[in-house]
Amino acid sequence: MITKRSIAVAVAAACTLGLGLTMDAAVASGGASGPAVSFKAQGNIGEVMVNPYRIAPMTAVVRNGGYTVKNAKVRVVPKADGQEIKYDVSDANVRNHGGVPLFGLYADYLNTVEVEYDRVYNGKTEHFKDRYQFYVPPVYMHSNGTDGQSHTTFDATVLKMDKAFSDRLYFVNNLVRTPPQASRFVWNNPMGGALEWSFMPENGIIDSTGTLRWYLMPDINMYDPEQPYKAGILMGFQQSSDGNLIFGYGQRYAKYDMLGREIYNRRLPMGYADYSHAIDGAENGHTFLRVSSSDHRRPDGKRVHTVRDVIIEVDENGSVVDEFLLWDILDPYRDNLVKAMDQGAVCLNIDASKAGHTMTAEELAAQDASNDFGDITGVGTGRNWAHVNSVDYDPSDDSIIISSRHQSAIVKIGRDKKVKWILASPEGWKKGWAEKVLTPVDAKGNKIKCEGSKCEGDFDWTWTQHTAWRIASKSKGDIIYVSAFDNGDARGMEQPALAEEKYTRGVVYKIDQKKMTVEQVYEVGKKEGHDFYSPVTGLAKYMDDKDSFVVYYSTPGLYTGDPKSRMTPHIAEYKWGQTEPSVLIKLQDTMGYQAWPFFVEHAFNPQAK
């Protein structure tokens, strides 16, 4: 028989069991039938929730506890000899996260965070300064199952750090090469494309001591290498004007905040495929994406996925408002550079057995008559003839600047889809394009003598370059400055006698768009020579805040002939005009793509001046 006494005993036992499962004092959870919620709060608002959106494990939120919280400030107490991170938080960010967002925590560590804020309740405003302590777990990274991966993100050594840069944070966009779970798919309707490239992500933020302070660990809802429409290489990260991250991968492009909150994550529009390398947020809220055509009929009637040769512009809703089909704008059969490139390192196609080999005109002709399509070196649509790896919108004349690696060309294209100018060697450009090639000049405006693909003095074009970006703060009217990461393969339209002669530069050009001239005004990296040579990937970017030039030498040591060789990317930052870096950080055993300064205050208080 069930009596009132037996019910009371059972309830008491259940309550005792519940409290026994949560040993921490004052940690209990009210049931669904009442308003009591009493998770342990260390301060004067709510509890701490670590990794609130599941993909940014080194972040947290101090929940508002049901109060209105305003004017929040955060300071992450550094480790001994560590870098302090502190920032203001906009009220909008507090509302977005239901509390105060915490960023810059240490992994596998009992963190201490100081939070200052105004608490508003029942018409009364009180000011508090709270101190929180909580543990953040170790870093987790996926394995690619090879001996080329020896650690988690990132094994960084600071070789040089000028005091003027000691407050820097660097966002590192690296890659985990060739995981067996990925790269299982190819397009077959129609053929070709770049679907097979699906390296795993390795993205994080390091401070000026080389310590990891944030990393992205995508969950299966965001990224799944075994699902074609959730796979792909996470590439082209930029911190947008509102402080958040924009990037793309495979068949998607996305925007997230620094705590991992999804703002949007969209499939590419149906007519396009294979995002990689480049995304650019325009001032009007539109986004430019480097993609390909998902269904293109060639002049010979063959239907193909094209490869890295389309730019689309999408609006805030994801609708395509314009497209730039580069096979109609440039010459997809200009093969001068394609024949000179090192076939061992054609960006993502990396094969040490082909190091130093080049292609002949006969091989290209035979290929073009075949059905060999896909992300392979070649000419004509359906092959990797352009390999556009950056796009930059120029609002001054409503145009785009692109970097075409396999043409070794930086090209400006107007809204009318006409080429405005070409920064490249004049070799191989047919009528209609040859007239658009810029003329090299010296500082006095005198024409520099050039023969073939080589010029007198220090002037040089870029070779298999990345990140051709307009420097807005230095540009005015028809005079614009453009930075680029000059990888340096096929320099002078040839392979050198010795591979050790190859080098990589960060370079800045001054272009007079009216006179159609170009002057080389600054270069770094040349004197470092082959030690910093990066055959693929990389970044060069001018930074207004410190009048400096950041260069990410992304793939030194990619292949050396030694099977035990390891890649050693270097982040370097130079004071403008200097050739010795003020910052030099070495990353060990990782394949680099891009790295750039990240601004925490912009991420959490973007309206601040």
Catalytic residues: 466
CB 174 within 8 A of CB 286: no
Tell the burial category of 103 from Cβ atoms under 10 Å away from its Cβ (0-12, 13-18, 19+): buried
In angstroms, rounded to a whole number, what is the distance separating the alpha carbons of residues 139 and 161? Answer: 25
Q: Write the DSSP assignment of 37-84 as a string of letters.
A: EE---SSSS--EEESTTSS-TT-EEEE-TTSEEEEEEEEEPPPTT---
Tell the burial category of 173 from Cβ atoms under 10 Å away from its Cβ (0-12, 13-18, 19+): buried
| Sequence-distant (≥ 6) Cβ neighbours of residue 503 within 8 angstroms | 488, 525, 526, 528, 529, 530, 532, 533
In angstroms, rounded to a whole number, what is the distance separating the alpha carbons of residues 3 and 483? Answer: 83
Enter the tokens of residue 482: 């453009």
Host H or E run for residue 366: helix 361-368
Determine the 3-state secondary structure of 287 from DSSP. Answer: strand
Q: How many CB atoms lie within 10 A of CB 158?
A: 16
Enter the tokens of residue 518: 């170009």
User: Partners of 409 in the beta sheet?
Assistant: 404
| β-pair type (570-575, 583-587) | antiparallel
Tell the burial category of 335 from Cβ atoms under 10 Å away from its Cβ (0-12, 13-18, 19+): buried
Host H or E run for residue 12: helix 4-21
Q: Write the DSSP assignment of 206-243 as a string of letters.
A: EETTS-EEEE----TTT--TTSTTT-S--EEEEE-TTS
Going from the C-alpha of 399 to that of each of 313, 415, 416, 418, the distances in angstroms are: 11, 6, 9, 10
Instruction: Calculate the CA 386 to chain-centre distance.
Output: 20
